[in-house]
Amino acid sequence: MEGPPPVSEELLYSEPEEELRTAVADLLADRAPWASVLARTESAEPYDAELWKALGTGIGAAGLLIPESLGGAGASLREAAVVAEELGKAVAPVPFLGNLTATALLLAVHDAGNGTAAAADELLRRIAAGEQTVAVAIPFTRSPDTTYKGRVSVTPWPPREDPHEARVTGRVTSVADALPADVLLVPADGSIYVVQASDAKRTAVTSLDMTRVLCDIEYDDTPAMLLTTRYGALQSALLSAAAILASEQLGLAERCLATTVEYVKTRHQFGRAVGSYQGLKHRLAQLWVQIAQARAVARHAVSATGEEQAIAVAVAQAHCSAVAVQAAEECVQMHGGIGFTWEHPAHLYLKRAKSTSLALGAPSRHRRRLAELVDLPAS
Amino acid sequence: MPPLITQHDLENRVQDFLAAHDPRTTSKQDFLRARFDAGLAWLHYPEGLGGLGLPRDLQPVAEKAFAAAGAPDNDPRRIGIGLGMAAPTILAFGSDEQKQRWLRPLWCGEEVWCQLFSEPGAGSDLAALATRAVRDSEGEGDSADWIVNGQKVWTSMAHEARWAILVTRTDPDVPKHQGMTYFVLDMTAPGVEVRPLRQLTGEAEFNEVFLTDVRIPDSQRLGAVGEGWKVAQTTLMNERVAIGGGSSPRESGMIGVLAQRWRDNPGVRDAALHDRLMILWVAAEAARLTAMRLSAQLAAGQPGPEGSAAKYAFATLNQQISGLELELLGEEGLRYDDWTMRRPDTVDFVGRSPGYRYLRAKGNSIEGGTSEILLNIIAERVLGLPGEIRADKDVAWKDLPR
C-alpha cells in the first residue's frame, strides 16, 4: 500500500462559502422565484435592478473580487463561483457575470499598476460601493484565447499621452449585461478604453436567453478614455469569466435535475410513477454522474492558478457547457407536454443553458485550446 | 476507551519495530508474522488480531514508514480478496477461534483466499444462487457437517486459493434473500474442482468451481444458519469501499497511453479523430478530478455516493478510449499480441497490446456490479426514485421460475 493520496480540499466548499451560498439562495428564493423571472422577461424591464442592488451591494456580490482597500470583500473566484451557482439555479436576470468580467479586467490593470491604474482603481471603488455597474463591450461568444479584433477604431492613433483625448467609432454585437451597465470597457485597436455607456448607442436585441439581456452597441466618434494598452488584461478577464460561467452552468444543471426528479416521482402513467421506469431512471442517474463531475471540474477551474488555470478552465467549459445543455434538454423531455409549455420553467433553463454553451467559447473551441495546452496537436 | 495514539507515537512504534526486526536480515515470512503480532498489520483491527484498535486513517502512516525502510509487503494485489473481503467479514461474524485461525496467515500472504458468490444463474441477482448446503443426515443435529453441491463462476484466484468464502442456499422454502448460509470452504477438500474459465481475451483470470458432495464442518460456518445474505452484505460493502476513490496524476491509465500514441505518431492524425480524442481527454480529466474530490470528501468525513459513479464512469471511459486507440492504429490495429491461455493474477491494461485493452475493457462494465445495476443504485439511493418492480420478493425460492 502506498502513502495517503494527495487530497485537495480546494475541490470542496468551505464553510464561509456555504454561508454565502445560503445568503444568496435565500435572497433569490424571496425575490426571484421563477414565475417572477418569467413575468419579467415579458416586461419593459428585462433585468431586475432591485435584485441586482440587493445582491450586489446588500450581499456584496458586486465587489467580491475587489480588494478591501478599494471597498470590496477581497474574496476569490471560489466565492464568486458559489454565487454563480445559485444564480444559475434561479436563472436570475442580474448582470453579475458581466460585472465580474469587467471587475476582473480592471483588477488585471490594477495589478499591473503601470501609471494608468488610478482610473481602474476609481472604477473598482465605484463598483464595490454599488455606484456603478461596468461591462466589457465584446460579443458574449468570445473565448478567452481569441485575439479579439473588433470593428471599433480609435482616433487619434497611436494613443496620445493624455488618455482623455480619444474617440471611438464602430459597432459591437450581442454584448451581455451591457444594457444595465453605466460604464463600458471597450477593446479597440489593441488597447482598452473606458466609455460612458450613455454616450454610446445601445440597442436591445431579442435574445435566445430571455433572462440574460444582450445588446448591440454603436459608437460614433464617442468620447473614450484610455484604460490600458495591456491587451492581455482582456484575456485574463475572459478566463476568469469562463471559470465562473462553468459554476453557473453547474447550478443550472443541478436545478434541472432536481426539478425533473421531483416531477417523475409524482407523475403517474400506466399506473406507475414514471420515475420507476428504468428508461428514465438510467438517464437521470447518468445525468447525476455528469453533474458530480461538473462540480469537481468547476471547483478546480476557480481554484487553479498559473499555467494550470488555462487548462482547468478549458476542461470546465468543455464539460460543464455540455452538461448544462443535457440537463436542460432532459428536463424538457422528461416533463413531457408540460415541459414544452411557456408556463413551466424548463424553457428558461433550456434557453439559458444553450446560450451559455455558446458563450465565452463553445466546447469545441475549448477542446482545441486544450489540445495546444497539453501538447496534443491537431495535425 | 483505549488511550489514543498520535501519528508521532505510531511512527516511533514502527521505528522501534524496525530496529528489532531489520528487514534486510529477517526473512519475509518472519518479518510479516512479527509485524502482525506487534499489532502493526491492520491498525484498526483489535489487539491480538494484527491491530491496535486505531482509527483507519493512521494506516497510511505505518505503510509509508514500512515502505521507506524497504520492508517486505504482503503482496496485497495477490491477496486482495482475502484482505478486502474475507478478513472484514471474518472479523465481523467469526468466532474467536475462527479469527485466530484465519486472520494471521491471511494477512501474511501465506494463505490466498477466493470468493464463491456468483453462479451461472446468479450474477447481478446474487440472491438467486442455487448452490445447496444440507446437513449430513448421519451427523449429530446442530453441529453436523454440511454437504455442498453446486457450481460457482467468475472466481479469480480459485486455482491458487487455500480458502474460499462461500454463500449457499440452506432453506429453499423461504423467499430468496432468506434461507442462505455463509461458510468458509477449504479449497483442498475432496469434491472441489477448479477449472479455468477462458475469456474473450484468450487468458483465464477467472475460474469455474464445481462443488460435488463437498463436506464442510459446521465450525467453518460464518454467522447464523439462514443469515448468509446479511453476512454477504458485509463482504460486498467492503468490496465497494475498496473500489472507492483515489487520486492519480493527469493522463493516468488508458488516456495516457492513447495521448502518448497520438504524440508519437503524427501519421494517425485527422480532424475527426482529434475531436474524439479531446472529448475523451476531457472526460478522463473530469473523472480524475471527481475521484480526487471523492477522496477529499472521505478525508473530510463526508462520504458520498460518488463511488458508484466513479466505477460507472471509468468503465464507460475505458471502453471508449480503448476503442479509439484501435482506430488510430489502422493496420496495426488488426493485430493482437498473444492468444495463449495465461493465468494472470491481476489485469495488465498497460503492459499488453491495444487489442487486449479493447477486449478486456468490455469486462469493466460487467465485473463488480454491472453498469446497469450501478445506475439503478444511483437512481434509487441517491435520487430517491422508485425501486424496480420485483416479482420475486415474497415467493419461496423453490417456486421461482428458473
Q: Is the dihedral of CA A43, A49, A54, A60 positive or negative?
A: positive
State which residue of chain A sits closest to B289, comparing Cα positions. A296
Please say whether the beta carbons of A218 and A152 come within 8 A.
Answer: no
Report chain B residues whose CB lies below 8 A from the CB of A2.
60, 63-64, 67
Query: Alpha helices, DSSP H only, in B38-112?
Result: 59-68, 80-81, 87-93, 96-108
Q: Calculate how close chain B gets to A139, using CA atoms only, in Å.
A: 25
Among candidates A81, A311, A304, which has minimal Cα distance to B285?
Answer: A311
Residue A281 is nearest to which of B269, B299, B379, comparing CB atoms? B379
Query: Alpha helices, DSSP H only, in B191-270?
Result: 228-243, 254-264
CB of B332 within 8 Å of a chain A CB? The answer is: no
Q: Calculate how close chain B gets to A252, using CA atoms only, in Å.
A: 17
Please say whether the beta carbons of A374 and A333 come within 8 A.
Answer: no
Burial B266-304 (b: 16+ CB within 10 A, else e): eebbeeeebbbbbbbbbbbbbbbbbbbbbbbbbbeeeee
Indicate the SS3 state at residue B104.
Answer: helix
- Contact between chains at A288 and B383 (C-beta distance less than 8 A): yes
**Interface A:B, Cβ pairs < 8 A:** 157
CB of B301 within 8 Å of a chain A CB? The answer is: no
Whether the pLDDT of residue A2 is over 70: the answer is no
Please say whether the beta carbons of B59 and B42 come within 8 A.
Answer: yes
pLDDT tens column, A229-247: 888 999 999 999 999 999 9
- Contact between chains at B386 and A273 (C-beta distance less than 8 A): yes
Positions of B marked catalytic: 239
Among candidates A137, A139, A144, A145, which has minimal Cα distance to A168?
Answer: A137
CB of A14 within 8 Å of a chain B CB? The answer is: no
Among candidates B31, B163, B182, B192, which has minimal Cα distance to B103?
Answer: B163
Q: What is the pLDDT along chain B (402 residues), one digit of tens a residue?
A: 455 678 889 999 999 999 999 999 999 999 999 999 999 999 999 999 999 999 887 888 899 999 999 999 999 888 999 999 999 999 999 999 999 999 999 999 999 999 999 999 998 889 999 999 999 988 877 889 999 999 999 999 999 999 999 999 999 999 999 999 999 999 999 999 999 999 999 999 999 999 999 999 999 999 999 999 999 998 887 765 544 445 689 999 899 999 999 999 999 999 999 999 999 999 999 999 998 888 888 777 766 666 788 889 999 999 999 999 999 998 999 999 999 999 998 888 888 999 999 999 999 999 888 999 999 999 999 999 999 888 888 899 999 887
Q: Which residues pair with B181 in a beta bridge?
A: B168
pLDDT (0 to 100) of residue B402:
77
* Cα–Cα distance measured from residue B72 to residue B205, given in angstroms and rounded to the nearest whole number: 26
- Contact between chains at B296 and A318 (C-beta distance less than 8 A): no
* Pairing mode, strands B113-116 and B163-169: parallel
Residue with cell 496485497: B76
* Pairing mode, strands A191-196 and A225-228: antiparallel
pLDDT tens column, B146-194: 999 999 999 999 999 999 999 999 999 999 999 999 999 999 999 999 9
- The DSSP secondary structure of A30-89, one letter per residue, reads HH--HHHHHHHHTSS--S-HHHHHIIIIIS--TTTTS-GGGTS----HHHHHHHHHHHHH
Residue A12 is nearest to which of B269, B300, B385, comparing CB atoms? B300
Q: Calculate how close chain B gets to A3, using CA atoms only, in Å.
A: 5
Say yes or no: ipTM exceeds 0.85. yes
CB of B382 within 8 Å of a chain A CB? The answer is: yes
Greatest distance between any 2 Cα atoms in chain A: 77
Q: Calculate how close chain B gets to A272, using CA atoms only, in Å.
A: 9
CB of B306 within 8 Å of a chain A CB? The answer is: yes
Per DSSP, B297 falls in state H
Please say whether the beta carbons of A242 and A256 come within 8 A.
Answer: no
Residue A315 is nearest to which of B282, B292, B386, comparing CB atoms? B282
CB of A286 within 8 Å of a chain B CB? The answer is: yes
Q: Read off φ and ψ for residue A207, nearest 5 degrees.
A: -95, 150
Establish whether the linkage from the previous residue to A158 is cis, with ω within 30° of 0.
yes
Residue B385 is nearest to which of A5, A284, A370, comparing CB atoms? A284
* Cα–Cα distance measured from residue B100 to residue B103, given in angstroms and rounded to the nearest whole number: 6
- Contact between chains at B299 and A7 (C-beta distance less than 8 A): yes
